[in-house]
Amino acid sequence: MKRIYLAGPDVFFHAASLHFDELEARCAAHGLQGVRPSDGGLSQGGLLQNAGGSGDEIAERIYRSNLDLIRSCDALLANLMPFRNPIEPDSGTVFELGMAVALGKPVAGFVANCAERYEYKVAQHCGLQRAPDGSAWDQVFGFMIEEFAQPMNLMLARSTPLFETFDDALADLVLRLNKPTPEAPSALSL
């Protein structure tokens, strides 16, 4: 059975375990195994002090475990919702997504309003000011706004097919994971 790593800030949701049970069931309906990220034993121990080790030891355990899980999976599905800010996704999720891309694994992401242009989102939350040369700059931080008509930062938008919902992203991965490869020709081509 092919395995899909379920990246995202979902591990921080209230009732995260029940949430992942639902995502795993939706993967199983397509004959895939959804794989939730490791929490380094926090769900068994409850509070951080009950998880076995210092904060550094737990963080290292989570980091190493999730790297191993990503390597062991066939694909990665990322929840790219804004996290702890109104625009950008969780940095840990972005790291995991980049790792999967670097390993050559199929990836897909989902985020509400994924058709909305990134520059609009930045302008909406940070304001927009035009320089005399026409370039756009946010009014909160003074950074240039990339106006490439992408739904997210170009490194995410160009590397990752983006969808509005988990189920749409999952359907895309199902199609790509079930596509015959040159090493394994389909029965029709024999």
For residues 137 and 74, state if they share a domain: no
Say if residues 86 and 112 touch (Cβ distance below 8 Å): no
User: What is the tens place of the pLDDT at every residue in 161-173?
Assistant: 999 999 999 999 9
What pLDDT is recorded for position 44? 63
**How many residues are present in the chain?**
190
What CATH number is given to the structural domain containing 91? Answer: 3.40.50.450
For residues 59 and 39, state if they share a domain: yes
For residues 129 and 53, state if they share a domain: no
For residues 64 and 130, state if they share a domain: no
What pLDDT is recorded for position 183? 60
* DSSP summary character for residue 36: P
- Residue ranges of the chain with per-residue pLDDT less than 50: 186
What pLDDT is recorded for position 42? 74
For residues 51 and 133, state if they share a domain: no
Q: What is the extent of the structural domain holding 128?
A: 117-150
What pLDDT is recorded for position 39? 86
For residues 111 and 51, state if they share a domain: yes
SS3 43: helix
Whether the CA torsion 148, 151, 155, 161 is positive or negative: it is negative
What pLDDT is recorded for position 172? 98
- Beta strands (DSSP E) in 70-158 are 75-79, 107-110, 129-130, 136-137
